[in-house]
A = this chain, B = another copy of it.
């Protein structure tokens, strides 16, 4: 096996491709477009794995990310984030290069897009169906209509876009399905009021993982599922066997009396995203054993108890404690793979191949 000497984000390419394939197949079976969100992996190389599955349209979360993927051959990019009008010059340029989708929920923004961008842009109106982060509340039909009226040539009112982000705090399939059904119904009701030419685009990995057949929608944009993570296992989107990234963390201190070890893996590697265990205790990742070109399932009684900037404190079971040595490397399945990938800036596949991202 390759040699780990410091915190390293391991990537099981086979699992990631399997996750992509599975969603691509599901989308195809339902007749919806799969426009994956690339904010999870940030990587031109990983982008190619999607291309091999027939994906040609993508979603990103920032204008800079759109520029990065446009420069690596992607020709159909939706920026699923409210338009940052201060970067309108960059958008003007992008609109000349690619089929650019912009998400809008305000008249001021739409007017600025009209006055500054002369090439056609696909406009999606962002609709809130319960997450309450961004978008126009789906029942405010008049507001949606007023905004729709402001979308004029050369731009195209392409569709209604929603993100059911409130699925991320659920842990029961029926609750996730119910959020999904409510959202899809709301979006269809709204489409009926506007125009049947509009597409309906939805996001969120939990819905897309749990719902078996997509009906009455046209496009799905899940991103996280390429890697999944511990949060998604808690939600019920996947099993541990589908998690495709694992932080390799050198053991730097051992405290048998406390059943604790300290690893070089802190908030600058994993992020401070956390979950709570059954006893209400926060934890920052699940501990696994690294194996030749793989890793184990989570070790029972072992978890990442606290993080500081560079330190990770791990509680180990008696069995694990008995065999651990300074200089061993433990694996940590991250709570939130998107933030971990952003911090780590590159991956190493379990075959020892380095994969870069837009961050490094």
Contact = CB atoms under 8 A, between A and B. Distances in A.
A313 to B, nearest CB: 6
B105 A253 contact: yes
Contact of A133 (B61, B132, B271, B313): B313
A49 B297 CA distance: 48
B253 A84 contact: no
Given A62-B264, A268-B342, A329-B86, A311 B253 contact: no
Contacts of A165: 308
Nearest to A83: B252
Interface residues of A, number: 53
Interface in A99-114: 105-106, 108-109, 112
Nearest to A338: B309
Contact of A326 (B87, B106, B311, B343): B106
A206 interface: no
A84 B339 contact: no
A176 to B, nearest CB: 18
A5 interface: yes
A360 interface: yes
A60 to B, nearest CB: 10
Contacts of A105: 253
A134 interface: yes
B134 A86 contact: no
Top-8 shortest CB links A-B: A82-B252, A272-B272, A5-B86, A82-B253, A85-B327, A61-B310, A108-B326, A134-B253
21 contacts: A5-B86, A6-B62, A6-B64, A6-B84, A39-B310, A61-B309, A61-B310, A81-B264, A82-B252, A84-B250, A85-B326, A86-B329, A108-B325, A267-B273, A268-B342, A272-B272, A272-B273, A309-B339, A309-B342, A359-B360, A360-B360
Given A134-B311, A309-B342, 7 more contacts: A6-B87, A39-B309, A62-B264, A86-B327, A106-B254, A108-B326, A268-B339
